[in-house]
Amino acid sequence: MASLTDLVNLDLSDCTDKIIAEYIWIGGSGIDLRSKARTVKGPITDPSQLPKWNYDGSSTGQAPGEDSEVILYPQAIFKDPFRKGDNILVMCDCYTPQGEPIPTNKRYNAAKVFSHPDVAAEVPWYGIEQEYTLLQKDVNWPLGWPVGGYPGPQGPYYCAAGADKAFGRDVVDAHYKACLYAGINISGINGEVMPGQWEFQVGPSVGISAGDEIWVARYILERITEIAGIVLSLDPKPIQGDWNGAGAHTNYSTKSMREPGGYEVIKKAIEKLGKRHKEHIAAYGEGNERRLTGRHETADINTFKWGVANRGASIRVGRDTEREGKGYFEDRRPASNMDPYVVTGMIAETTILWKEN
């Protein structure tokens, strides 16, 4: 008699050419991930080979009950680390039956920015540092913390090893390998300053693919924490008080920045970002005012400043970039719950396309 595990891990490749495609989309809150699966003929090598699909938008806060159909457009595909084989994860965006992007479809406008000839010519690279917190399921309190209590103060936990300092490494390592399997350009992981908090990095990724990869990496992390019975939090300040918040620092460069003389291009780009600081802050994640206090390696939310190797600045430029006269910079303002389509598209639009009146 086959066990449940045997059936879950059943290899179908020797008996059918059908595969399972897990269609993923962003729900009505703008941060919740939804998905459902369908059977298609495989193998699939490009999202254009997949059919559009639909779902009940009234159940996700994205459509009224009397006209609830929302259409899924497949946009990017990844190998499925859960079902394996030729099965795939499909990142989708959402449209009305008339073909109009729905309000929560932030990918649509980002894709327009990245397809602009001036932006495409600059080949924008992104490296996104996604911080997150693991919570104990039934109490919504950080993993490794005594229930209703606090661990020792910050200091020993960042990039630490040991049962009293690192909590949830099995989840983190499983996620790392699952992302590599999926084909996500995940470039590293580390334990963060607050115990129970971790970070993974995706990049360098070009243009719209940065948003696709972060969203699918988040989906994979949600699935792994589901298996582990742990809750994933992207709250930018999950614990009040003298504890670090969670951000999504966004490293950025253009072709002009990466070439000789690029440091001057970087300084002009940072100047533009400063002039649109309020607009960027408004789009950089919910609850970010609880995180951007001027403490815990942040700049105050109402202040824009940049500096070389300054982790208390809005924009940090690395020592290597300053020394070599070219490279990249880091926007430290985005919150952990930011929409990567919004942030990456807005940075490119401000630094490449926007012209001051």
Averaged pLDDT score across all residues of the chain: 96
Give the confidence band of 263 by pLDDT, cuts at 50, 70, 90: very high
What are 109-151's pLDDT values in tens digits? 999 999 999 999 999 999 999 999 999 999 999 999 999 899 9
Exposure string for 219-240, b = 16+ CB within 10 A, e = fewer: bbbbbbbeebebbbbbbbbbbe
Query: How many residues are given for the chain?
Result: 357
Q: What is the mean pLDDT of residues 21-47?
A: 97
Give the confidence band of 300 by pLDDT, cuts at 50, 70, 90: very high
Q: What is the mean pLDDT of residues 41-55?
A: 97
Structure tokens at 231: 């809750």
CB count in 10 Å sphere of residue 355? 5
Residue 349 is classified by DSSP as I
Domain ranges for the chain:
4-104, 120-353
Give the confidence band of 9 by pLDDT, cuts at 50, 70, 90: confident
Structure tokens at 42: 């495989």
Q: Does domain 120-353 have CATH number 3.40.50.1970?
A: no
Q: Is residue 315 predicted with pLDDT exceeding 80?
A: yes
What are 62-98's pLDDT values in tens digits? 999 888 999 999 999 999 999 999 999 999 999 999 9
Give the C-alpha separation, 357 to 4, whole Å. Answer: 64
State the pLDDT at residue 245: 96
Domain pair 4-104 / 120-353, same fold: no
State the pLDDT at residue 308: 92
H-type helices in the chain, by residue range?
Answer: 4-8, 107-115, 117-122, 169-182, 208-228, 255-258, 262-275, 277-282, 319-324, 340-348
Counting DSSP H helices and E strands in the chain, the numbers are 10, 14
Annotate 225-293 with three-state secondary structure: HHHHCEEEECCCCCCCCCCCCCEEEEEEECHHHHCCCHHHHHHHHHHHHHHCHHHHHHCCCCCHHHCCE
The CATH number given to 4-104 is 3.10.20.70
Q: What is the mean pLDDT of residues 225-242?
A: 96
